[in-house]
Amino acid sequence: MEKKEAPPKWMEVLVPLVSVASALLIAGFFLALQGIPPLELYSKMLAGSFASYHGISYTIVKTIPLLLCGAGLVLAFKANIWNIGAEGQLLMGAVAATWVALYAMPSAPSYLVIPAMFAFGFIAGALWGLVPGYLKSKLAVNEIITTLMMNYIAIKLVEYLIYGPWRGEEEWGFPITDKFPEAAWLPRIPGTSVHIPTLILALLSAALVYLLLYKTKVGYEARVYGSNPEAARYAGISSEKVILLVMAISGGLAGLAGVGEVAGIHRRLRYPWSISCGYGFAAIIVAFLARLNPLAAIISAIFLGGLFVGGDAVQMAFGLPVGVVNMFNGLMLLCLVSGEFALKYRVRVK
């Protein structure tokens, strides 16, 4: 097995298509064995995620947090900083937004409370990212472990808040906070759950990460550091500055996603896994499917969002257990990742 030099451009487009097609073929074979017509199932799936108004709108709903987290992770991974903590950073953004909406400014008008939620959400996510960033830059603690651990701390913190001090007064003792005042509800596209401000922020985040990486000094420094920390040191690039900045922005963007989920979808804080559904982890796949290109992350986030959404159409129409849907999604990702591999490496058998 050896690394290929730069693959030709058309391969970069063709390989993912072939990967998707082979996933469909393999899954189709097993479905047909079970007596389920694969074509019918795929058309349902497609209709479920992309070919109906509802499907598209919910695909976008999923795309928003995936893209915000994914754009941040592209930045981090470009700098070779392994932020596995987007999940926790997202939750901290959600906590900050809840604090703003329910406790800090419960009676403020929309034009104040909504920007405040996003601002504090960004800060909270950034701080959550800065802790491992600080440990990495000062003490050389491996960020994979710390960011991962910080996820669990965030989960426990949310649980503590909803069972403890923030348990809703109007909620019959259930572990959820009260609903946000209406001023703190993010406006949605009518008839859908698409929260507009976060959608705009998500698209902007991809563009901004692109500009940051390729048009600014700090982005350049981050890429040099990511490609070769020794060369960065030699060029006088401060690794501390790069690590802290990257973790802050990466965490902050995930924090924005958290704001969107609580203020745009749930309008309250609730169980951590209800808020996030693992967006922070799925965003890792988003970043890599985009080959660490922030603009391509828009496409990969939509793709992954659609995959999640398409699954339940299948469940309903064919009465398939949810495991089959998950298997299908897993197969799709496996084929895409293998395709990526085939693109970068040449495998020799004996």
Partner 1 sequence: MKLLSLRSVLEKPMVIEEISLSEMQVELGEPLVQMRGIVKIFPGVVANDNVDFDLYAGEVHALLGENGAGKTTLMNILFGLYSPDEGEIYVAGKKVEIRSPRDAIRYGIGMVHQHFKLIPTLTVAENIALSLANAPAINPSKHLVEEIERYSKRYGLEVDPSAYVWQLSVGERQRVEILKALMGGARALILDEPTTVLTPDERDELFKTLRRMADEGCGIVLITHKLEEALSVCDRITVMRNGRVVATVRPNEVVAADLAKMMVGRDVLLNYEKPPSEIGEVVLRVEGLRVLGDRGLVSVDGVSFDIRSGEVFGIAGVAGNGQSELVEAIVGLRKVESGRVEILGRDVTNQPTSRVLGLGVAYIPEHRIERGIAPDLSVVENLILKSYRNPPFSGRLAMNTDYVREWGKRLVEEYEVVTPSIDAPVKLLSGGNIQRVIIAREFSQEPKLIIASHPTYGLDVAATEYVRKKLLEQRRRGAAILLVSEDLEELLALSDRIAVMYRGRFVGVLEADEITLDRIRVMMAGEEEAS
Partner 2 sequence: MSEKAPKRRLLVAAIVLIAILAIGVGYYLWVYAPAAAAAAKIKAGYIYVGPIGDYGWTHAHDQGRKIVDEKYDWLDTVYVESVSEADCPRIIDKLITEENCDVVFTTSFGFMDATIEAGEKYPDKIFFHCSGYKRGANVGTYFAEFYQLYYLNGLMAGALTKTNKVGYVAAHPIPEVIRHINAFAIGVKEVNPDAKVYVVWIHAWYDPTKAREAAEALIADGCDVLAFTEDSPTVIEVCEEYYAKGQPIYAFSHYSPMYSYGPNVTVSGQLVHWEVVYDDILTKIHDGTYTSQNLENVDYWWMLHEGAVELGCDFGMPINPKFEDALKAVTVTDTKTGHGTMSVYDLVMLRLEQMKAQPAHVAKVENGQLVWELGPIEFDPFTGPLYDQDGNLRVADGVRLGHDDLWTMDWFVDNVVGSPTG
Cβ neighbours of residue 305 closer than 8 Å, sequence gap 6 or more: 49, 59, 60, 61, 62, 63, 66
Q: Residue 273 carries which side chain, given as an amino acid letter?
A: W
Which of 53, 217, 319, 323 is the binder for partner 1 (CB under 8 A)? 217
Q: Binds 35, which of partner 1, partner 2, none (CB < 5 to 8 A, cut-off by type)?
A: none
DSSP 284-304: HHHHHHTTT-TTHHHHHHHHH
Q: Which one of 166-174, 195-203, 209-217, 241-249 is the stretch in contact with partner 1 (CB under 8 A)?
A: 209-217
Which helix (H) or strand (E) element contains residue 140?
Answer: none
Min dist CB 109 to partner 2, Å, is 23
Work out whether 164 is an interface residue with partner 2 (CB under 8 A): yes
Closest CA to 314 of 12, 2, 1, 55: 55
Q: Which one of 42-50, 69-77, 228-236, 338-346 is the stretch in contact with partner 2 (CB under 8 A)?
A: 42-50
How far is the C-alpha of 328 from the C-alpha of 65, rounded, in Å?
22
Work out whether 174 is an interface residue with partner 2 (CB under 8 A): yes
Scan residues 235-294 and list those touching partner 1 (CB under 8 A): 235-237
Work out whether 193 is an interface residue with partner 2 (CB under 8 A): yes
Exposure letters 275-302 (e unless 16+ CB within 10 A, then b): bbeebbbbbbbbbbbbebbbebbbbbbb
Work out whether 189 is an interface residue with partner 2 (CB under 8 A): no
Cβ neighbours of residue 313 closer than 8 Å, sequence gap 6 or more: 44, 45, 47, 48, 49, 55
Binding site for partner 2 (CB under 8 A): 8-10, 13-14, 17, 39-40, 42-44, 46-48, 51-52, 54, 58, 61, 159, 163-164, 172-176, 179, 191, 193, 261, 265-268, 270-271, 273-277, 309, 312-313, 315-317, 319, 321-323
Binding site for partner 1 (CB under 8 A): 5-6, 8, 215-218, 220, 223-224, 226-228, 230-237, 348, 350
